[in-house]
Structure 1
Amino acid sequence: METILGIDLPTLWFLVIGGLITGYGVLDGFDLGAGSLHLFFNKEESRRIALNAIGPVWDGNEVWLVISGGALFAGFPLVYGTILSTFYVPFMLFLVALIFRAISIEFRSKETMAWWRKMWDISYMVSSTLITLLLGLILGNLIHGLPFNEKHEFTGNLLSFFNPYSILIAFTTLSLFMLHGAIYLVMKTENRLYAKLTIMVNNCSKFFILCFILASMSTLIYIPHMTDQFKEYPWLFALPLLAVLTVLNIKRNIDNRKYFTAFVFSSCITAMLLILFAIGLYPNIIISTTDPANSISIYHAASSPKALRIMLLIAAIGTPLVLGYTIFVFWTFRGKVKLNEMSY
Structure 2
Amino acid sequence: MALTDIWFLLIAVLWTGYFVLEGFDFGVGMLLRVLGRDDTDRRVLINTIGPVWDGNEVWLLVAGGATFAAFPLWYASLFSGFYLALLVILVALILRGVAFEFRGKIDSDRWRRNWDRAIVFGSLVPALLWGVAFGNIVRGVPLDAQHHFTGTFFTLLNPYALVGGLATLSLFALHGAVFLGLKTTGDLRERAVALTKPLGGAAILFGGGFLAWTAADHGGWTWIPVLVAAAVLIAGVWYAMDGKEGLAFVCTALAIVATTVTLFYSLYPNVLPSTTDAAYSLTTTNAASTPYTLKIMTWVAVAFTPVVLAYQAWTYWVFRKRVTRESIPAAAGLPPVRR
Question: Does 1:52 find its partner at 2:47?
Answer: yes
What SS class does the counterpart of residue 109 from structure 1 fall into? coil
Question: Which residue is 2:329 aligned to?
Answer: 340
| Deviation readout 1:126-162 (Å, 9 max, x if unpaired) | 1110111111110111122111111111111111111
Secondary structure of 1:310 counterpart = helix
User: 1:342–1:18: structure 2 CA closer, same or farther, 3 Å change rule?
Assistant: farther
Task: Mark the CA change 1:28 to 1:342 in structure 2 (over 3 Å): closer, same or farther.
Answer: farther
What count of residue pairs does the alignment treat as equivalent? 329
Equivalent of 2:207 in 205, 212, 216? 212
The 1:110–1:299 alpha-carbon spacing in structure 2 relative to 1, beyond 3 Å, is same
Q: Provide the C-alpha distance between the structure 2 equivalents of 1:220 and 1:116, rounded to a whole number of angstroms.
A: 47
Q: Distance in 2 between matches of 1:156 and 1:189?
A: 46
- TM value normalised by structure 1: 0.92
Counterpart residue type for residue 329 of structure 2: N
Equivalence for 1:119: 114
- Give the residue type in structure 2 aligned to 1:26: V
Percent of matched pairs sharing the same residue: 37
CA distance in 2, matches of 1:184, 1:169: 22
Question: What are the superposed Cα offsets for residues 22-67 of structure 1, whole Å, 9 maximum, x if unpaired?
Answer: 1111111100111111110221111110000000000000111111
1:124-135 equivalences in 2 (<5 Å) = 124-135=119-130
Q: Which residue is 2:12 aligned to?
A: 18
1:296-320 deviation line (CA, Å, top 9, x unaligned): 0001111111111110111112221
* Runs of 5+ consecutive residues of structure 2 not aligned to the other structure: 335-339
In structure 2, the residue matched to 1:28 is 22
Alignment of structure 1 residues 158-169 onto 2, 5 Å: 158-169=153-164
Root-mean-square deviation (Å): 1.6
Aligned residue identity for 1:340: P
From 3, 8, 33, the counterpart of 2:2: 8
Task: Specify the SS of the correspondent of 1:317.
Answer: helix
Q: Tell me if structure 1 keeps the 8 A contact 2:200–2:234.
A: no
Range with bigger deviation, 211-220 or 43-52: 211-220
In the TM superposition, residue 206 of structure 1 has moved relative to its aligned partner by 1.3
Shift of residue 341 of structure 1?
A: 5.8
CA–CA distance in structure 1, aligned partners of residues 264 and 298 of structure 2: 19
- State the match for 1:320 in structure 2: 306
Structure 2: how far apart are the matches of 1:263 and 1:165?
Answer: 27
Amino acid of the residue matched to residue 180 of structure 1? Answer: H
Q: TM-score, normalised by structure 2?
A: 0.93
Give the 5 Å matches for 1:1-344. Answer: 7-40=1-34, 41-221=36-216, 224=217, 226-227=218-219, 230=220, 237-337=223-323, 338-340=327-329
Uncovered stretches (5+) of structure 1, i.e. residues with no partner: 1-6
Cα distance, 1:342 vs. partner? 8.9
The structural deviation recorded for 1:326 is 1.1
Does the 8 Å contact 2:71/2:288 carry over to 1? Answer: yes
